Amino acid sequence: MKLNNLKNNCSDILENKELNLNDKLLEICNLLKREIAYYDWVGFYFKNGDKDELILGPYAGAPTDHTIIPFGKGICGQVAVSNKNFVVDDVSAQDNYISCNFNVKSEIVIPLFVNGKNIGQIDIDSNTLNAFGKEDEIFLEWLNHEISKQYNN
């Protein structure tokens, strides 16, 4: 399924009044993992209160030991500090990469802003080298923007 075709599905999940935000995010993780062949792990990390660390939120894929990630550590920790998208074509070329699964070859992390503040991120791992392109980045930015609206309701 093309990424743009998933926008309606994601919007339907986010508009579902019967689900709380955590359940909506879990449904989105499951949808993306199921519909995009190269999305092998899809999850959210969020700032852990006042601590300079991320805590694992809803995800779809293999369980991970990385439930807490300090700011600056790994790709997710770097995005928490830089506030910028991070696309990794080959994780083995990254010095500051935290391996969650030896099958992972590439990763994309897009920060989630609410009222201009980075509160977390969507993290996607792929078992394929060079898996993520500009289309993924644009789609995930759109998705995080739509998710951010949930915090203002």
Q: Where are the domains of the chain?
A: 3-152
Q: What is the pLDDT of residues 83-122, one digit of tens each?
A: 999 999 998 887 666 666 678 899 999 999 999 999 999 9
Residue 138: name the closest of 146, 130, 149 by CA. 146
Mean pLDDT of 53-78: 94
Backbone angles phi, psi at 39, to 5 degrees: -90, 95
pLDDT at 98: 67
Q: What is the pLDDT of residues 4-53, one digit of tens each?
A: 789 999 999 999 999 999 999 999 999 999 999 999 999 999 999 999 99
pLDDT at 94: 75
Indicate whether 1 pLDDT > 60: no
Maximal C-alpha separation, the chain: 43
Q: How far is CA 139 from CA 7, 44, 81, 96, 142, in A?
A: 8, 15, 22, 26, 5
Helix axes of 134-148 and 3-15: crossing angle, nearest 10 degrees: 10
The CATH superfamily assigned to 3-152 is GAF domain (3.30.450.40)
pLDDT at 103: 87
pLDDT at 100: 65
| pTM score, whole prediction | 0.94
- Please say whether the beta carbons of 140 and 121 come within 8 A: no
